Amino acid sequence: MTDELKDNFPYVMLDRTFSEKEVKKNYSSLSVKSSALTKSWNDTINSQWTIRDFIAIKMILSSTILLSSVEHANKVNLKIVEPYLLYYSLLNCARAVVLTSPFVEWNEDDLFTMTHSKTINLLGDIVAKYNKTKGAEIRKFIVWAREYREIFSYKFPANGLTNHHLSSIEVIDNCKIMCEIAQFQSKVLENSICKNVKGEFNFDQNYFEVGYIYGKDNFQFIDEEDWYRLSYINRKQKRPYSIHSTMTEGMVEDFIGAWCTEDEIESDLIYNPDLNWQIIFPLP
């Protein structure tokens, strides 16, 4: 990992997947783009990047839940959910990368409702900035996962899952790579903010609504936990920090705890999200 980043995050997959030269080249590219952004910093940009990083964090947390659900499903022979859980864990990590990329412009209607195909293609382009072969490879892998999921959505083979289904180990490794890229991007932006942004900026609540209001035409509701976490960031941080620095124990515990059963009975038959928190990211 490049020394210029000054990040104590334990990068593993990034160093294993890309050469030092490739990482440094991409670091320079991200730094230039982030510098142009932070030199024109204002309340609007501050609000946009705070919400982008917040939702990226939730994408990583959601993939953690999805992947630990795969492990439980395998234990209790609930194989039917595996294609969906594996694909969406990949897609959500891809979204985390897209959300933290300074090369992807803010467009609320598109950024948070982006089609699967566009998300996957953008992810491939971002990874290709490190290494073109790896960018094409990870894009192909996620597309393969989507196609595998869709055979159960439309025609449903009589033999169920075959021996050619996705490897959960490969899915986890690809999710780890994407999570580290998202962290890397968010840390480059944090460093640029520290260098170029002076003073404090306000948050525009209209942007924050993206993070806690759900639904559109048929229903709409406010998630109180999301509202609370964004309010906390508003009070404590005042600006975006890296994904790993923004995560708190309380945030992680509350997110994962929401998927615990209300019953106090301990059994291998009951899904326990408290197991294997760090399956793809070193959660606090």
100-151 pLDDT tens trace: 999 999 986 689 889 999 999 999 999 999 999 999 999 999 999 999 888 8
b/e per residue 248-271 (b: at least 16 CB within 10 A): eeebbeebbeeeeeeeeeeeeeeb
3-state secondary structure of 174: helix
The pLDDT > 70 percentage for the chain reads: 96
Cβ neighbours of residue 201 closer than 8 Å, sequence gap 6 or more = 41, 42, 43, 46, 238, 239
Domain spans of the chain?
A: 3-257
249-275 pLDDT tens trace: 999 999 998 888 776 666 777 777 778
- Given this model, what pLDDT does residue 135 score? 97
Q: What's the number of CA atoms in the CB half-sphere (13 Å) around residue 242? A: 20
- Given this model, what pLDDT does residue 163 score? 53
Bridge partners of 221? 214
20-30 pLDDT tens trace: 999 999 999 99
* Average pLDDT of the segment spanning 200-221: 84
The pLDDT > 90 percentage for the chain reads: 61
User: What is the total residue count of the chain?
Assistant: 284
Least confident window among 46-50, 115-119, 161-165, 224-228: 161-165
Residue type, 11: Y
Specify the higher pLDDT residue, 165 or 229: 229
pTM of the model: 0.94
- Given this model, what pLDDT does residue 10 score? 93
